[in-house]
Amino acid sequence: MYIFYLYICTVKKDSQILLRLSDPEKEAFKRAAEISGVGFSAWARQVLRVAAIKELQNVGEKAVFLEPIKEKKD
């Protein structure tokens, strides 16, 4: 999980998404992010990425954002 979080935090983000939520949904999502120790945007992105991976795997596809992480050499 640590590598996954590191990966999503270092990838350049080019697009935005607008979601319509009820107030209780927004409160619950923000609280979940707080409990996880990450910002709301990072938490939402992580949850959406995991959901996308699962849905795509169910139909035999691979998420286009899954690429090997290049290890930095010292």
- The yes-or-no verdict on residue 70 having pLDDT over 50 is yes
Domain boundaries, the chain: 21-67
Under 8 Å CB-to-CB from 52, ≥6 apart: which residues?
63, 65
Report the phi/psi class of residue 60: left, alpha or beta, with left for phi > 0 and alpha for psi in -120 to 50: left
pLDDT at 21: 92
**Which tens digits make up the pLDDT trace of 31-53?**
999 999 999 999 999 999 999 99
**Which tens digits make up the pLDDT trace of 4-36?**
444 555 667 788 889 899 999 999 999 999 999
What is the value of pTM for the model shown? 0.70
The residue ranking higher by pLDDT, 35 or 1, is: 35
